[in-house]
Amino acid sequence: KKIIFSGIQPTGVMTLGNYLGAVKNWVALQEEYHCCYSIVNLHAITIRQDAKALRENTLAAYALLLACGIDPEKSIAFIQSHVQAHAELSWVLSCYTQFGELSRMTQFKDKSARHADNVNAGLFTYPVLMAADILLYQADLVPVGIDQKQHLELARDIAQRFNGLYGNVFTLPDGYIPKLAAKVMSLQDPTKKMSKSDDNPKAFVAILDKPETIIKKFKSAVTDSETQVAYREGKDGINNLMSIYSAVTGKTFQVIEDEFAGKGYGEFKLAVGEAVAETLRPVRERFDAYMKEKAYLEDCYRKGAEKAQALSQRTLDKVYKKVGFLAK
C-alpha cells in the first residue's frame, strides 16, 4: 500500500477551502492507502499565536478531522509537536536547502507582506519543515490544495538532492491535487484564495458556521455586473461559486448553467449557500459530539503520536547515520 501524508494548521477555524481542497480527499484516501494526517502546530507559530487559543484550536482541529470522517483506527491522526522527529529532520534538511530556493516561495512573499511586523526565520523556512513532515513518513502522495504545489516541488527537490548525496533515503512524494475546488477563492475578493486567517469573516465559510451564517455569506458573495450564471474567463466570483456548487453537488458546469438559465445570481447564490450548509451540517453535529468527549480525543491523539513516533524515528535514524552523526 502507498503512503499518504498531509497536514493542516490550527491557525483558526477550518474553512470550506480546507475541506474541499484537502480534508475531503483525506477521508476518501483512507480506504486505499496508509494515511498519516497531522495538525501541524509547529507550522502555526510562524504567525504569532495566542498560547491559549492555539491550544484550543489544536484540539478543535483534531476533533474536526474526526468529524470530517478521518478514522483514527484506519489512519494515523496526530499532533505535530507530539512527534519530535519533525523538528529534528527539519533542522537537517534546512542545511540542504538553499536561501535562494526559499526566497522564491510565493507563500513566503504573500505572508511576509501581510505580516510585515513579524517576518521571522520560521516563516522563511516553513517549506523545509513541510518537507520534513512528508519525507519522515516516506510518503508517496500528498493531498493538498494547489496553493501548496510549489512547496511540494521543493520537498521533492530536497529529497532528490539528499538521495543524490547519500543513496535512497527518501521516497519522492507526488502531489494529489483535486481537479475541482483545488483552490476555493475568497467570497469577498475572488482573485484571492479563501483563507482561514483572513481578517474579514465574510470572506470565508468556516466548516463550523451555522446554516444561516453560511447562506448569508453566500448571499453577500462578490460577483460581477452581469446576470447569467456561466463559467467564463474573467467571471471570477461566479466561477468560484460554480466550482463550489459543483464540488458539493457533483453537478457539472453544463448542468448548473442549464439549471440556472434565466434565473439570475440571487437565486443561484442561495442554492449554493443551501447546498454547502447541507454538506457541512453533519460535520458540525459530529464535531459538537466529539468536543464533549475530551478523554476520547486525548486517547486518539496519544495513540496517533505513538504510531507516528515509531515510523518517523526510523527515517530520522537513517538520516543521522548518513550525515555522519555519531551513534548514541
Residues that bind ligand ATP (CB under 6 A): 8-9, 11, 15, 17-18, 21-22, 144-145, 147-148, 182-184, 193-197
Pairing of strands 34-39, 3-8: parallel
Closest residue to ligand ATP, Cβ-based? 21
Q: Which is closer to ligand ATP, CB of 147 or CB of 260? A: 147
193 catalytic residue (yes or no): yes
Among 193, 217, 235, 269, the active-site one is 193
Among 24, 111, 217, 235, the active-site one is 111
* CB of 322 vs ligand ATP, minimal distance in Å: 29
Q: Is 196 annotated as a binding residue?
A: yes
* Contact call for residues 21 and 180 (beta carbons, < 8 A): no
Q: Is 251 annotated as a binding residue?
A: no
Residue 38 pairs in a beta bridge with: 7, 78
Q: Looking at residue 22, what DSSP letter applies? A: I
Cell of 71: 478514522
Q: Is 227 annotated as a binding residue?
A: no
* CB of 188 vs ligand ATP, minimal distance in Å: 13
Q: Is 317 annotated as a binding residue?
A: no
Q: What CA–CA distance (Å, rounded) separates 209 from 215?
A: 10
Q: Which is closer to ligand ATP, CB of 240 or CB of 316? A: 240
Name which of 225, 215, 323 is nearest 277 in CA terms: 215
111 catalytic residue (yes or no): yes
DSSP states of 62-122: HHHHHHHT--TTTSEEEEGGG-THHHHHHHHHHTTS-HHHHHT-HHHHHHHHHTTT---HH
Q: Which is closer to ligand ATP, CB of 53 or CB of 261? A: 53
Q: Residues marked as binding for L-tryptophan?
A: 133
Active site residues: 111, 193, 196
